[in-house]
Amino acid sequence: MIGRVNHIAIAVPDLAAAAGRYRDLLGARVSAPQSLPEHGVRVVFVEADNTKVELLEPLGAHSPITGFLDKNPGGGMHHICFEVPDIAMAARQLVEAGARVLGDGKPKIGAHGLPVLFVHPKDFDGTLIELEEVKPDFSPA
């Protein structure tokens, strides 16, 4: 079902400071900040050759990561995102197997402009899983 790791997300209390550390101390390429009101977060992507790290901070008091940062004031790993070719089929298979898709169970558009959904961390050993639909590239033969 899953393809490659798309990104690992780290919740941070101060997005600008965290992005600066990755850029200035590690020499990483860091994207411009992006607000995602429908997800309640503001994000930047740290771009590595083989994947990305998503830094996210709460956007407003009702952000879903506020509780995470209350428990982890210094921040920490929030979720891991895997690519899937068909998010509807992935959701259906997960639910049929007893996993819990968060929210209303329907994909939302994520930071890359693609459909995403989240699976309950209790169903994956304490790790919040994000699935992002990425269609495979077909090159002409």
Does any domain span residue 41? yes
- Digit-coded pLDDT (tens) for 83-138: 999 999 999 999 999 999 999 999 999 999 999 999 999 999 999 999 999 987 64
Does any domain span residue 78? yes
Question: Torsion angle, CA of 15/30/43/101, rounded to 10 degrees?
Answer: -130
- Is 76:121 a contact under the CB 8 Å cutoff? no
- Digit-coded pLDDT (tens) for 33-70: 999 999 999 999 999 999 999 999 999 989 999 999 99
Q: What is the CATH number of the domain that holds 56?
A: 3.10.180.10
Does any domain span residue 139? no
Give the range of the structural domain holding residue 50, as residue numbers without chain letter. Answer: 5-133
Mark whether 130 is an active-site residue.
yes
Q: Tell me, what amino acid is at 64? A: P
Does any domain span residue 60? yes
Enter the pTM of the model.
Answer: 0.91
Does any domain span residue 138? no
Would you state the pLDDT for residue 130? 98
**57, 83, 130, 133: which is the annotated catalytic residue?**
130
Q: Hey, how many other C-beta atoms are within 10 angstroms of the C-beta on 10?
A: 17
Does any domain span residue 31? yes
Does any domain span residue 140? no
* Domain total in the chain: 1
In which element (H, E) is residue 26 found? helix 15-26
